[in-house]
Amino acid sequence: MVNQSSPAGFLLLGFSEHPGLEKILFGIVLTSYFLTLVGNTFIILLSVLDSRLHSPMYFFLSNLSFLDLCFTTSCVPQMLFNLWGPKTISFLGCFVQLFIFMSLGTTECILLTVMAFDRYVAVCQPLRYATIIHPRLCRQLAAMAWVTGLVQSVIQTPSTVRLPFCPHRQVDDFLCEVPALIRLSCGDTTYNEIQMAVASFFILVVPLTLILVSYGAIARAVLRINSAKGRRKAFGTCSSHLMVVIIFYSSVIAVYLQPKNPYAQERAKFFGLFYAVGTPSLNPLIYTLRNKEVKRALMRLLRKDGGPGDN
């Protein structure tokens, strides 16, 4: 069923009341998008080209990098267009963006949980790591993350499409996201709000709880290590992922689990912009700057490209 209440599409307001701010944001978003493309492509290529990175940790990291490339590309080009010029998006374009963005966002929540499980086994069960986290399980866990995201989007997008939208068609956000489209409806949104609350519980609260439980067990295991060097090494294998989790979940929770008031709504726009644009550009920087294996892989690749004279 196609909603005919807004055949011309929608207006994505963003920060249209602050045109000067939008021009600054255009430069920030464009720079972040460039860093996202370069950084995540670099991690994927490095994980493929360096045989020493053919491990479960970097398999999941490559999935995260590919996910971030798709995640930002699903929304940033339209966002740049709206920040610089007309703020319109077609009805079909809005819901295609909603479907893809929701699917990939859900996938990232599950994938970060899978990565936490991988780190838990690596630190707490090191002797059984290769037996537990075998290649087949890695593929199954990655597939589960992607399929869960797709199923979630298939369930929630149609009910959002069928909402009776107000004639002004003004979406108070940068993106076509469920909370903003629910606010645009002039009809009863009780079902949609319940659906969003249930989805937020299973896709945000439950995965985050599992991640925190995993890191609680990791912290106990690290504290039992006698040597300071051993503790630093164990912590080093988890610190990058933990930073990514904190940045991603704090911004997503600020958007989807916010109270209903104008201040929270305005603040949610900044957080929504950050998790859509900022986190995908920060992830490769965090993993590159804080990960010695990635640094060593980069040096090996550069020496190889430099030719025999550099070996």
Per-residue pLDDT, 216 = 93
Per-residue pLDDT, 99 = 94
Q: pLDDT tier at 135 (50, 70, 90 boundaries)?
A: very high
Average pLDDT over residues 128-148: 95
Q: Is the pLDDT at 6 greater than 80, yes or no?
A: no
Per-residue pLDDT, 128 = 92
Each residue's pLDDT tens digit, 143-178:
999 999 999 999 999 999 888 988 888 888 888 888
Residues 6+ apart with CB under 8 A from 289: none
Q: pLDDT tier at 3 (50, 70, 90 boundaries)?
A: very low
Each residue's pLDDT tens digit, 43-62:
898 888 877 778 898 899 99
Per-residue pLDDT, 188 = 87
Mode of pairing for the β-strands spanning 170-171 and 88-89: unpaired
Average pLDDT over residues 225-245: 80
Q: Is the pLDDT at 310 greater than 60, yes or no?
A: no
Per-residue pLDDT, 235 = 77
Q: Is the pLDDT at 1 greater than 80, yes or no?
A: no
Q: Set out the domains of the chain in order of their start, with CATH numbers.
A: 18-160+167-310 (1.20.1070.10)
Q: pLDDT tier at 262 (50, 70, 90 boundaries)?
A: low
Residues 6+ apart with CB under 8 A from 290: 236, 239, 240, 243
CA distance 204 to 222: 26
